Every structure is written in structure tokens, then in C-alpha cells.
Amino acid sequence: MREFTARAREAFDQFVDGVEDAEYVKAAELILASRQKGGRLHITGIGKPGHVSGYGASLLSSTGTPTYFLHGTEAVHGSCGQLVPGDVVICISNSGETAEMKTTVTAIKNNGCEVIGVSGNPDSWLAKQSAAHLFAGVCCEGGPLNRAPRASILAENFVLQRLSVLLQANRGLDPKQYVMWHPGGTLGQLRDNEK
């Protein structure tokens, strides 16, 4: 356990130290330009990045950028029907080379949508197919076999969180609107300094 913690911290810290703003700005501009024309944002991924996609759609929606989850494999079995030309789709894949992801990205592009890729390989197939690419690479996963996605999932979540901050700041979301979207729990209450 302690060995995993040390490896994961090292991998994540190295990743964060190398993050650059340019591609985030480019991705945000793609999303905002699409929204101005009535386009929508979707997120998809294959395998464990598919679960990250669900979280990302929820986070972005809750902070002012309505976002739809697109199932990574169902996309090629009819779910691309949720896409309209001009939409933007964030595609997450650790390797950027997964066969199912390639099929899905091809279908997304054939439906007239722009792709923002999130992967651990800036030279991957996904990166080359993307209008913007957000790097989520780590030196190791931290587990005994260095295979199961662990540290890479932390990086992918961070990428979406970082993008969400940029989009939320652009929207100018205020506490009253945020509370309207979160009527349940403590997030649905204005703090004393916000009243």
C-alpha cells in the first residue's frame, strides 16, 4: 500500500509539473465556439475511461457547461444519434490506440463533430485525429503489474477538472446559479459570505 502511494504520488506529481495551458485554451475555444452555434458537448471513453467520462459529464454540467455522456461502444450501435454536426466530443483513451475507440472516433467525425482527445500519448492515433489534445500521461500506474489503470485515471480526471475550471470561469458562474443547480445537500445552500 505504501509503495503504491509513493509511486502514484511520483507519477501524478511528474504529470502535473508538465501540464501546459495552450491545449486547454484551444479545447475551451472549440467548446465555446460550438456552443455559440447551438452545438453541444459530449464525453466518451472505452473501458475504465468510460467511467471517467460519466464523472466528467456530471462535473461539467454542474459547473455551467451542459455535457452528455456518450457510451464508448454503443456509439457505433446507434448512440451516435445523439450527435448533431457541430457538436464537440471529448474522447478519453489512455493509449490513444484502442481499436473500439478508433471505430467510435471515426463514427463521431463522420457525423460532423469535432474531437478533443485525452490520452497518455501525444503521438497516438487519437491525438492525431483530434482538433485539440489534452495530455494525461503518467510514468507508471503504481500497481504490482503496472497495468491496471490507476495513476492514469487520476491524470484523466485532473484533465477534465482543469478544463472545467477554465469553462466555469469563462461562464462567470455565480453562487446563486450554482445553488439552483444543486438544491440537494450542503452544496445547495448559500454560504454566509454569498448571501
CATH number at residue 120: 3.40.50.10490
Segment-wise mean pLDDT, segments of 10 residues, the chain, 195 residues? 94 97 98 98 97 98 97 97 98 97 98 98 98 97 94 98 98 92 87 88
Domain that holds residue 9: 2-183
Residue 191 in domain = no
Residue 26 in domain = yes
Q: Which long-range contacts (CB under 8 A, 24 or more apart) does 173-176 make?
A: 173/63, 173/64
pLDDT value, residue 184: 87
Residue 192 in domain = no
pLDDT value, residue 187: 85
Residue 61 in domain = yes
pLDDT value, residue 195: 83
- Between CA 84 and CA 65 the distance in angstroms is 17
DSSP secondary structure code for residue 38 in this structure? T
What's the whole-model pTM score?
0.96
Residue 176 in domain = yes
Measure the CA angle with vertex 38, ends 32 and 42; round to 5°. 65
pLDDT value, residue 79: 97
**Number of structural domains found in the chain:** 1
| Strand, coil or helix: 193 | helix
